[in-house]
Every structure is written in structure tokens, then in C-alpha cells.
Amino acid sequence: MPGAEGTTRRVVPARLAHVVLRTRRLRPMLDWWAELLQAEVVFENEFIGFLTFDDEHHRIAIVRPPDLEGPAGHTAGLDHIAFTYASLADLVATYERLKNRGVDATWVVNHGPTLSVYYRDPDGNRAELQIDRFRDGEEATAFLRSPAFARHPVGHSVDFDDLVRRFHEGEDEAVLTAYRYDHENA
């Protein structure tokens, strides 16, 4: 039967296209996300703004519906949006740029697969800026299946100011990004 293979074969998206956030404060939100990601606002009116930082026409859209209520606080829903940087040097440079502009991280954690720095936008949405600790997805997936990860699935907090200092002093990146629980007995 034509097309029957579509019911059994796995079909996945080619990539994540964009994320849309709702707000009552369009301009502060556009400014914050543009600063965080060094993104360009490619379109804006009173209702919506589109931002991009790469080859996608927009990675983030921020919309201001006329009947929107304020942020709901601690409820079910989206927890955060994560962005992966190419290197520890890029993550450090971004952290320093943001800190110098008064944008402070709310949490830094070594999750195991990633070293992650979290921020909150003006509405309280969280953004995660991260680097991958493994060479490829296969190694990261193997780590997620490990006893060390099972014992500590959130990871451990990191003093990123200390890590940045040590990074600039030339300490080995493998040491700087080591997962505290890597060497535990299984």
C-alpha cells in the first residue's frame, strides 16, 4: 500500500525553528533577549517582535496579546529555553559580557552532559546557555544511562566566577568542566 512505510518509520523534525514567548512588556523583553543572545530584532510592531542570531529568519518571537494576564508564577509549563555555545571560551565570553552589562546568572550547574549558565528574563522565563561536555550525542546518551547520572540527575552547582578565573589562568578545560560525580564507584 503506498505510503504505508510512513506509519512505521521514524520521521523527526529537521531542526527546532523558533520559540514564541508571550508578554505584556514587549520592548523590555525584546531588549533583554537581544542582549542575551546578541540577536538582531528583524521585525517589530506594537504586537510582535522577531529576533535572530543565526541563519534562521527568526529564532525567537515575542508577542503581546491584548488580553494577556501577568506571569503566572510557579505553574506547569515551559521551564526554560537552552542555547548551546561552540566552546567554553564562547560561554565564558558571553557570561563576562552579560555580567558587565548587569545581567547576572541565576544558577550555574554542571548537569553532566552540559555545563550550563541560567538567566531569567523580565517576565521570569529562564534561558540556559550551555556547552556540551561530550564529543557527540552518542557519548552524552551513554552518560545519561550511567549510574553516576542516575544518582545525581541534576548535577552539581558551579562557582562560575572561580571557573572563569581559572579559565583565564590557562587551566585545562577538561578539569574545569569535569563532572563532580564522574569518578564515583558504580
Mean pLDDT of the chain: 90
Q: Mean pLDDT, to the nearest integer, of 68-91?
A: 82
How far apart are the C-alpha atoms of 105 and 122, rounded to whole Å? Answer: 13
Cell matching residue 14? 529537521
Residue 9 has pLDDT above 60, yes or no: yes
Residue 72: its pLDDT value, please? 65
The amino acid at 41: V
Residue 184 has pLDDT above 60, yes or no: no
pLDDT digits (tens, 9 = 90+) for 115-171: 999 999 999 999 999 999 999 989 999 999 988 888 888 999 999 999 999 999 999
Cell matching residue 96? 563576562
What does pTM read for this prediction?
0.86
Q: E strand or H helix at 42, and its extent? A: strand 40-44
